Amino acid sequence: MRELQVKGITKLSDQRGDVNMSNMNSRKRKIVYPYLKEKFGTYCQMCQALESERELVIDHIDNNNSNDNPNNWQFLCRSCNYIKNPRLKERKEPLDVCVGVSRPFDIPSEIKINREREPLFRKYVEEEVKANVQVLEQELINSGAEKLGLSPRTTDRYLKKMYSSIGKLQRIKTKTECYIIMKG
């Protein structure tokens, strides 16, 4: 066996250069898991179940365990992995696409929307506060909602996290209004 380096991930290969990940060992999983966690977050790519809700497994997207390209890995919960890859003797025909459990892939779930838009909202708020020193809290909530196509209730939740005790922002209350500033 020899090791190859791909995008910071070590691949194990035999003398012919073939890579086999069908039985990913715990040492290899300890490398791949953090990579996928950073790339996608820890949730099932099919049903959107969080790591805290279901056990996640590392799946080869193209069902080819020899394809050890890091772009060929994804998290699936055990149920979705079984639906996508039933045991060989139970397959009627090969599966060539991942079939969603809860919804089609072209309809984004609320979890996916939040994961995509919260970082955009955070960036928008930080830029506004840095540019203006202080900004009305309600203005950030409403303009952020309008800019990113979110509800004001959602942007309010995001903003509250940003000015929590460990957030980068601070909320200043006057007699009539609340302002957001950068922490000092």
pLDDT digits (tens, 9 = 90+) for 42-80: 888 888 888 888 888 888 888 777 777 888 888 888 888
pLDDT given at position 92: 56
CA distances from 59 to 14, 44, 63, 90 (A): 21, 10, 8, 19
Please name the residues in contact with 7: beta carbons below 8 A apart, sequence gap of 6 or more.
70
Residue holding tokens 């190859």? 4
Assign 111 to helix, strand or coil.
Answer: helix
Which range is most confident: 27-36, 50-59, 166-175?
A: 166-175
pLDDT given at position 165: 92
Per 3-state DSSP, the chain is made up of helix, strand and coil in percentages (nearest 5) of 40, 20, 40
- Give the residue from 180, 183, 162 showing the smallest Cα distance to 171: 180
Tell me the H-state helices in the chain.
26-40, 78-84, 110-132, 137-148, 152-162
The residue extents of the domains of the chain are: 2-90, 110-182
Is residue 146's pLDDT more than 70?
yes
pLDDT tens digits along 116-130? 889 999 999 999 999
- Give the residue from 132, 131, 128 showing the smallest Cα distance to 162: 128
Is residue 6's pLDDT more than 60?
no
Please, which pLDDT band fits residue 7 given cuts at 50, 70 and 90?
very low
Specify the higher pLDDT residue, 167 or 89.
167
Report how far residue 181's alpha carbon sits from residue 16's, in angstroms, rounded to the nearest whole number.
60
pLDDT tens digits along 86-100? 665 555 554 444 444
Is residue 107's pLDDT more than 80?
no
Share of the chain above pLDDT 70, in %: 72
Overall fold of domain 110-182: Arc Repressor Mutant, subunit A (1.10.10)
Is residue 20's pLDDT more than 90?
no
Q: What is the mean pLDDT of the chain?
A: 77
Report how far residue 115's alpha carbon sits from residue 126's, in angstroms, rounded to the nearest whole number.
18
